[in-house]
Amino acid sequence: MLARFPSDVARIKPSRRAAAYRGWLKREKYQDTLQNRIDAQVGLSDSDVEEIAALLTKRCSGRNTNIVRWALMSCPNMASFGIYGRVTKDPEGWTYTAGQSMPDEIRVVRELLIKNY
C-alpha cells in the first residue's frame, strides 16, 4: 500500500511504519518534520530526541529538559500542532526555522511539549 498522507502511514503495522514513512518522504518530496512524525505515528531515535531536546531547552532547568525529553520519547502519542512543522531534520541534524522571533517561538514549542506531556 502506498501512503499518500501521514494518516495512511499511521495505519500501517508498527513494524513497517518507519520504512513506509521514509518512503513517503522520499516519494512525495516532503521534509522530515516533528509534525509529520507525530501525524504518521513514527517515533524518534534516541539521538533525535537528544538533538531536539538540546535545540529546544537551551538555558533551561534540568527539570524542563527532562520533561521535554520524555515528551519527545512518546512522540507518536502526542497531539500535533502546526508549529511542530518548523522543527525540521536537515542532513546536519534537527533545526528550527523561525517565522519572526526565534526565542519566543522555541518557548511556545517547549511549552506545548511540556503541557501535553
**Could you read off the pLDDT of 73-98 as tens digits, one per residue?**
988 888 889 999 999 999 999 999 99
State which residues form the domain around 80: 6-115
* pLDDT at residue 1, rounded to an integer: 57
Is residue 14 over pLDDT 90?
Answer: no
Residue 1 lies in a domain: no
Counted domains in the chain:
1
Strands (E), the chain: 32-33, 87-90, 93-96
Encoded amino acid at 17, one letter: R
Residue 72 lies in a domain: yes
Strand partners, 90: 93
Residue 35 lies in a domain: yes
Quickly state the pLDDT bin for 38 (edges 50, 70, 90): very high
For residue 88, report the phi and psi dihedrals to the nearest 5 degrees.
-120, 155
Residue 20 lies in a domain: yes
| 13 alpha-carbon distance from chain centroid | 20
Quickly state the pLDDT bin for 68 (edges 50, 70, 90): very high
Residue 66 lies in a domain: yes
